[in-house]
Every structure is written in structure tokens, then in C-alpha cells.
Amino acid sequence: MNQEWALAVDFGTYRTSGAMAGGSGVTTLEIEGARWLSSTVVAGDGGLILVGAAAENQAGVHPDRVERTPKRHLGSGAPLILGSETVEVAEAVAALLAMFLEEGSLRNERRPPALAVLTNPVRWGDARRRALMRAAEIAGYPETHLIEEPVAAAVHYVTDQVAVGEHVGVYDLGGGTFDTAVLKRTESGFETVGAPGGDEYIGGEHFDHKLFSYFGGCLAEEDPETWNKILTSDERRWRQAAVDLLSHARRAKEALSSYPSTKIFVPEADREIVVTREQFESMILDEIERTIDEMEDTIATAGLTGEDMSALYLVGGSSRIPIVVRLLTARFGSCVTTRDEPKSVVALGAASLARRWMDSGEVDTSSDPVAPAQPEAREVKTAVPGVPALAVDESQADAPVIMWETTPPSWLGPMASDGSNLWSHLADGTVVCLDVGNGDPAWTSSVGPANDCAPSSDGGVVLVSAADGAITALNPTTGAAFWRVDLGQQPTTSVVTIGEILVVGTSEGSAIALRRADGGAKWRLPFGSAVRAAVASGSSAYLSCANGRLYDVDGRSGEVRWMYPTGGDLVGLPSIERTFIHVPSGDGKVYTLERASGSPVWAYQTTGPVMSCVSDANLVIAASVDDRLHAMKRDTGEPLWHLSVGPWIGPPVLSRGRLFVIGADSRLRCIDLTSSRLRWTLDISLSEGSRVPPPITANGLLAVATGDGRLLGLW
């Protein structure tokens, strides 16, 4: 009798499940009496990594040592910070994977498995897949293979109901992520067709936070002090109260799938709160509709429609929320298929594949994932180039009025201003503060080597990031340092302020939040791709990443509100206003999104990769690398004109109906957009290959650096 067995593990964002395959068939692997384990890891005493029930028990005792979503950090290149411990992500994940290996071996007379299969999201890149394989190696796994999660789910669901050549869809709404895929049945199994889709930040945990916020709003109406302590206090009792309230929200969400209403009790406020299914569904309706649109778009990328699907399989615990099934059925009809316990189907499908490979003695490596294509971003409207060139009248160009001139002690870096003062991080490692009115220096302060990030200020503090990884907070009046913190990573954005929280992006692919008061760590969010730009407005930090994704992150909690995928690298700073955010992309487009939801409003295809864009009440102007400026109507994206200015250096500046742009011919031009008149030009003494920081506007003046080291205040 063949006693070989195989192990399969579906490592999830919030829950992890396993299955075994052997002589008795394929079965779910129960651990600690449950069919799945929480993916939470906790740093125990003496450097021990706790998982499973031990982790959940200690999470409330030491909330600062907890990481509930280690899957999000795989491949980021940055370690987990668990209390005072720094832990490699793969080491933490390995502790969780080892639980399944140990339990499976116990059930098979302590024999190791013949092979193991791990599942991964279909859109994962090489870095994250390698990190997962490293975790398996650390955990002591034998020969290990990866399989895409939708493929594993389809293998579990499908026997002979789907003929070779037919297509099925997979809608996977889990605890922390959402994924979509279309698969084609082949002679040997399934292959992914079209571009997989999804959103890494829509899932059950997101819905939990919706309920958490609802409960908090109810508390704030009668006891705002208690709610504020739950939300913001660093005291252990209040941090535990926040954890407990989130657990109440999770249980309420699950109860509302079976009952029309439920209630929770908050002991800190001695308050019962009732929530109905109708209220909950209204909270998550927009997100659910976005997931259904994403499923439809994924089907379309395969050249198919919903009618071409033999089945649409629902995977993940959140796919069983009643409104999900109801709206999917309304959109796709009878092909929507629900059966079995949704949290285990991926592990069971992977185990079935493992059994097939074990029995045949051959592993179908074509099922191992390859680098997936990125889904193309949806666009509401695309404007096509071909618009007239702007006819600029150069016949009456004047010279600007120079209000003041100063020569800083070292070469200027990127500049920032609050209207009264101007700051620049100089090449000699100092920050200089100048009076905008006359250009006189107020103070200088040594902060460390300069990078390409401009200083920033919220009025009460000047914030500077340095090339050595340090963030320094300076007194705006004297330049004295309030505090200095070493991030341990290379900052790649200016520091942005959201209330009492500071956020900065890094080259290692993380957003890091610090307390404004003392620089203490608040939260860290890994993206797996370098953060190129950051801008803040209200409670949001908008972060542009090299992988083409723009994130709206709640600066207070680190929660991702929405993510929008463009088709190219994001390099330039988004332009943000009251209603919209305009995003320059390396795919040659400007994307305009609704700030509140991240929903696309329009997109404009330029004639080359877009490095920057600026906007005012009427216009959006994009600078493409083919030396053109493109103007569109702000609210509709209707193209108005383009302007060829020759090779330009740095992003343009738009202020009060005037456009300022520096050309490689060493001239700064001021163009009046109302009259299309070139108001003035100025030679700024650029030599070949020299760089100057972009001009900035400050209290009606334009501050301009020159190639010979001067700084001019122009009117």
C-alpha cells in the first residue's frame, strides 16, 4: 500500500488553511480543532514567533508585538517590527507554515510529505513568490511547488461538468484581498486566460473596519471622550479596547450573513449598539459593486462575456455575504456557483493537484505561476490626441521684475514654501530658510546629506528627509532640531502631515508613519514597490508607486481606502484638488480619479510617458517626455491644446492662469494662458547637463534657482 502523502497550504492574508492528499483521498487538515488558522504572528518572549491560538491569546496582551497580515509584507524587502523585535518576514511566515507540516506529519506516522504545494495570488510578482518559497524552505518543507489560487479553486470545484475548451471564472473575496481570474479547461487541467484582476485592499477585513467605524460613530454621539481614547490612546487598556471592538465588528459581520440584525456590547462605554443587515449592506455596497465590475472586466480581457462562462465559482469567506451572491447572480445569472466551505476550497484544490502529481510521478510545471499581466485600468473617457498646437504670441515678451536676488552657501535642492518662508535642502547637507519677501536668510541647520525630496512644513515644524535615511523635525523659527529618527530605509518622498501623523515613502516599497510630536513609529504599510511621490489632503496620504498604482491611505490608521492601477510607472507628483486627483503615468496617460472613491472620471492619452501634471480650477496640464505640454479641461478631460517648448527641464508650474516652464535652451518662460501670450522670458544661466530645482510660487512671487547658484524672487 502506497503510504506517501502530500501537503497543500493556502496561505491567506487573514486566514491560512491546509489539506492532505494520500491513500484515503483529499481531506482538510484541522489544526487546534479548526479548519483554518489565523495568519496572525506575534513576537513572544526570547525571540519566539507565536502563531495559531497562542498568537491570538497574546495579541491582546502585547498589541505592539502583533502583525495580523504578514502576507502583505512578503517580498517587500523590509522586516516586520514586532515590539522591540525586528523579524524577517519569511521567518514569521515559516513559523505558520511549520504548524501545517507538523500536524500533517503527525497524522501520517511522522513521515514527511512526498511533496508540498503552496498557493499564491495570480497577480503576485517574482519577489513575492520567491519570498514564499523561502518561508517554506525555512519551515522544512520538502520538494515544494506553487500554484495559482484560482487554478486550485477550479480544480476543486470542477470534475467533468466543464468540457475541454470551456471557460470558468473565479471570484475570490477573502479576508484581506480580492482576486478575479478566467480559466480555460485544457486536456491537463486549467490555464489562466486574459488579465487577472482584483484589489489587494478589498476584503472581509475592510468590511470589519466599516462596522468598526460605524460603532465608533455611535459611541461618539454619546461619549466622544471614550471613542477618542479607543481610537488614539497608546495606553494598553485602550489599545485592547480597540482590538476588542474590531473583533465585535468581525463577529457582527458574520452574524449578519444569517440574521437581519445583531448587536454588540461595548463595556468601556456601558453601551449596546444594534446594526442591521440593511445598514451593513449600504456600507459595503460601493466596494461590492466594484468587485463585480472587476469580474466583468476580467472576463472582457479574455475576449469573453458572462454568457460564455460555464461557471463562476465563489471563493473566500466574504463571498458568502448575502449581498455578494445576490448582486453577482443579478449580473451573471445562473452560472454563479456556491457550494462547500469557502475558506478551504483553494487548499483542497491544491491538494488534489498534489495527489495527481504524486500518483503520476510527474509535476505539471506549466501550472506553476508565471509573471502575470497587469490588468488594464478602467477608463470612463479617453481623449485622443490630435488637438491644435497653442499659438503663443512671442512678439511682446518682456523681462520679469526681479524683486530680490540671493546666493545660498551651497547648491540648491528642491524647494518648499509656506508663503512667508522658503526652505531648501542644500548640497552641503544643510537646510536654509529664507524670507520670501526679501530673500534674506533666516537660519541654516545641518540635517544630513541631501536627496531629491523637498522639505515640508505644517506651520509648527519643518520636516526634512535625508539621503542617509533620517527624518528631522526643525523649529521653523530657529532651525533647531526637535527630534531626528532613522527610518532604516531610504526616503523617496517629502514628508506629508496628516494631523498629528507624518507619512513618508521609501525606496524599499513602504509607507512609514511617525508621530509628529516625537517621531515615534505609528504604522508601516508595505507596497512591494518603491514609493515615488506622496501628497496629503484631509485625512488621506496619496502615494504613487513604481508599479503603477496609486493608493489612498488613511494617515491615522494606515488603512488603504482604495487603490487604482495605471498602466505604467508613476514618477511625478499627483495634482490634487477638492474633488479630483490627477495622476501622471509612464504609459503616456493622465488619469483623473474621484478623490473620495478612486473611481476613474476620465483619462487622456498623450504622445509620450507623462512625468508630471499640474491643475487649477479649469485646466490640467501634463508634461510628456517628448517635450510637449498637453492641456485638458479639468472636469471632462476634453483636449484643448498642446505646446511644443523644446526639451524642458523639470515639471511646469501653473499659478493664477500663468504657466512657467524651463527649457533646455536655458530660458524660463511665463505664458499667460488666457491670452496665449508669452509674458516674459529669462535666461537662468544653465550649462549643458546642469540641473536646477523646479520653481515654486510663494505669496505671489516665483522663486527660481539659476544654473550659476543664485536664487531669484520674480514678480
How do residues 412-426 score in pLDDT, each as one tens digit?
Answer: 888 999 888 999 999
How many residues can be counted in the chain? 715
pLDDT at 370: 26
Do 160 and 101 form a contact (C-beta atoms < 8 A)? no
pLDDT at 701: 86
- Please give the helix or strand (H or E) that residue 620 lies within, else none: strand 619-624
pLDDT at 620: 92
Would you place residue 341 in the very low, low, confident or very high pLDDT band (cuts 50, 70, 90)?
low
At the second CATH level, the architecture of 6-202+283-367 is: 2-Layer Sandwich (3.30)
Q: How many CB atoms lie within 10 A of CB 437?
A: 14
Identify the top-confidence range among 69-83, 292-306, 384-398, 558-572: 292-306
Q: Which three cell numbers stand for residue 208?
A: 470589519
pLDDT at 381: 45
Would you place residue 2 in the very low, low, confident or very high pLDDT band (cuts 50, 70, 90)?
low
Would you place residue 340 in the very low, low, confident or very high pLDDT band (cuts 50, 70, 90)?
low
Do 625 and 609 form a contact (C-beta atoms < 8 A)? yes
Do 114 and 8 form a contact (C-beta atoms < 8 A)? no
Rounded to whole angstroms, how far apart are CA atoms 602 and 379?
Answer: 6
User: Is residue 642's pLDDT more than 90?
Assistant: no
Do 430 and 446 form a contact (C-beta atoms < 8 A)? yes
Coil, strand, or helix at residue 505? strand
Strand partners, 193: 182
Beta-carbon-side half-sphere exposure of residue 287 (alpha carbons within 13 Å): 27
DSSP β-ladder status, 441-446 and 430-435: antiparallel
Nearest to 535 by CA among 490, 498, 590: 498
Q: How many CB atoms lie within 10 A of CB 372?
A: 16
Q: Is 537 left (phi over 0), alpha (psi -120 to 50) or beta?
A: beta
User: Distance of CA 336 to CAs 73, 158, 316, 324, 655, Å?
Assistant: 33, 13, 14, 11, 53
User: Distance of CA 144 to CAs 119, 138, 387, Å?
Assistant: 11, 12, 56
Domain boundaries, the chain: 6-202+283-367, 490-646
Identify the top-confidence range among 319-333, 544-558, 598-612, 634-648: 319-333
pLDDT at 369: 30
Rounded to whole angstroms, how far apart are CA atoms 298 and 664?
Answer: 44
DSSP β-ladder status, 15-22 and 25-28: antiparallel
Do 318 and 15 form a contact (C-beta atoms < 8 A)? no
CA 470, 473, 477: angle at the middle one, nearest 5? 145
Strand partners, 272: 265
- List, in order, residues 6 or more apart from 592 with CB less than 8 Å away: 580, 581, 582, 583, 600, 601, 602, 603, 620, 634, 637
CATH superfamily of 490-646: YVTN repeat-like/Quinoprotein amine dehydrogenase (2.130.10.10)
Count of helices and strands (H, E) across the chain? 10, 51
In the DSSP assignment, the letter for residue 387 is: P
pLDDT in tens, 677-700: 888 888 888 776 667 888 888 877
Gyration radius (Cα) of the chain, Å: 28
Between 271 and 338, name the one with better pLDDT: 271
DSSP β-ladder status, 619-624 and 628-633: antiparallel
Would you place residue 371 in the very low, low, confident or very high pLDDT band (cuts 50, 70, 90)?
very low
User: Distance of CA 639 to CAs 100, 272, 633, Å?
Assistant: 58, 55, 7
Nearest to 309 by CA among 142, 158, 183: 183
Do 613 and 590 form a contact (C-beta atoms < 8 A)? yes
DSSP β-ladder status, 37-38 and 49-50: unpaired
pLDDT in tens, 479-489: 999 999 998 88
pLDDT at 145: 92
In the DSSP assignment, the letter for residue 175 is: S
Q: Region 312-323: what's the mean pLDDT?
A: 89
Q: Which residue has the cell 528627509?
A: 465
Rounded to whole angstroms, how far apart are CA atoms 413 and 427?
Answer: 7
User: Is residue 375's pLDDT more than 70?
Assistant: no
pLDDT in tens, 459-511: 789 999 998 899 999 999 999 999 999 988 889 999 999 989 999 999 888 89
User: Is residue 379's pLDDT more than 60?
Assistant: no
Beta-carbon-side half-sphere exposure of residue 695 (alpha carbons within 13 Å): 30
- Please give the helix or strand (H or E) that residue 639 lies within, else none: strand 639-644
Q: Region 590-610: what's the mean pLDDT?
A: 86
Rounded to whole angstroms, how far apart are CA atoms 455 and 583?
Answer: 22
DSSP β-ladder status, 600-605 and 382-383: parallel
Q: Which three cell numbers stand for residue 368?
A: 506553476
Identify the top-confidence range among 204-213, 232-241, 333-342: 204-213
pLDDT at 78: 67
Nearest to 463 by CA among 536, 526, 410: 536
Between 595 and 262, name the one with better pLDDT: 262
Q: Region 643-652: what's the mean pLDDT?
A: 70
pLDDT at 380: 43
Rounded to whole angstroms, how far apart are CA atoms 70 and 80?
Answer: 8
User: Is residue 84's pLDDT more than 90?
Assistant: no
CA 300 from centre of chain: 25
pLDDT at 159: 56
Dihedral Cα 88, 92, 94, 100, nearest 10 deg: -170
Backbone angles phi, psi at 353, to 5 degrees: -65, -45
DSSP β-ladder status, 261-266 and 501-505: unpaired
Q: Which residue has the cell 480597540?
A: 242
Q: How many CB atoms lie within 10 A of CB 636?
A: 12
Amino acid at 337: T
Coil, strand, or helix at residue 129? helix
Would you place residue 252 in the very low, low, confident or very high pLDDT band (cuts 50, 70, 90)?
very high
Runs of H (alpha helix) within 593-669: none
- List, in order, residues 6 or more apart from 656 with CB less than 8 Å away: none
- Please give the helix or strand (H or E) that residue 600 lies within, else none: strand 600-605
pLDDT in tens, 119-163: 988 767 677 888 899 999 999 999 899 988 888 888 887 655 778
Q: How many CB atoms lie within 10 A of CB 706?
A: 20
User: Is residue 367's pLDDT more than 70?
Assistant: no
Q: Region 610-633: what's the mean pLDDT?
A: 86
Rounded to whole angstroms, how far apart are CA atoms 606 and 623?
Answer: 9
Q: Which three cell numbers stand for residue 675?
A: 491670452
